[in-house]
């Protein structure tokens, strides 16, 4: 059973994107949505109140904890877009070097605006992340 706080909500993705306060951030979110749909082939699903996810996977750790989580996705946060690649960015330095202006966390890529990055490289990163994740846990469509 999942103890995740971030779970699918059934909320409307289009309505969420339309509610993004900054017009430029909303336009970027529409562009990201189109890219994620094209690259993954998955329909988007809201995870929690603000993450748009594409695909999902079921994990089970050695500790016995298990649950479901989004395979990849993004959130148009106020300060920057958070782009989620599971299980993280550790092995993608070669792709990240070609991406453009960004910051990274463990499983988050932070981009202020899409004009700062190469969208073809982001597509490569999404593909690589899904391929890597699938070696740990099978990715399922949403």
Instruction: DSSP for 14-50, please give it.
Output: HHHHHT-SSHHHHHHHHHHHHHHHHHH-PPEEEETTT
The yes-or-no verdict on residue 2 having pLDDT over 70 is no
* Contact (Cβ atoms closer than 8 angstroms) between residue 130 and residue 72: yes
The yes-or-no verdict on residue 1 having pLDDT over 60 is no
Distance from C-alpha of 107 to C-alpha of 125, rounded to nearest angstrom: 12
**How large is the average pLDDT for residues 62-89?**
92
The yes-or-no verdict on residue 106 having pLDDT over 70 is yes
Residue 71, pLDDT score: 96
pLDDT > 70: what percent of the chain?
Answer: 98
**How large is the average pLDDT for residues 90-117?**
93
**How large is the average pLDDT for residues 58-76?**
93
pTM for this model (two decimals): 0.94
Distance from C-alpha of 88 to C-alpha of 78, rounded to nearest angstrom: 22
Distance from C-alpha of 98 to C-alpha of 134, rounded to nearest angstrom: 24
Structural domains of the chain sorted by starting position, each given as residue range(s) with its CATH number in brackets: 13-136 (3.90.1150)
């Amino acid at each position: 059973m999942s103890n995740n706080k971030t779970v699918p909500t059934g909320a409307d993705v289009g309505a969420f994107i339309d509610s993004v306060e900054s017009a430029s951030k909303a336009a970027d979110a529409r562009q990201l949505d189109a890219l994620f749909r094209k690259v993954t082939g998955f329909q988007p699903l809201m995870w929690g109140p603000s993450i748009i996810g594409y695909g999902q996977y079921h994990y089970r750790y050695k500790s016995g904890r298990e649950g479901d989580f989004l395979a990849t996705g993004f959130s148009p946060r106020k300060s920057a877009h958070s782009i989620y690649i599971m299980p993280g960015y550790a092995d993608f330095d070669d792709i990240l070097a070609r991406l453009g202006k960004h910051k990274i966390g463990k499983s988050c890529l932070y981009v202020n605006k899409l004009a700062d990055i190469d969208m073809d490289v982001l597509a490569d990163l999404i593909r690589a992340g899904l391929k890597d994740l699938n070696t740990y846990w099978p990715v399922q469509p949403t």
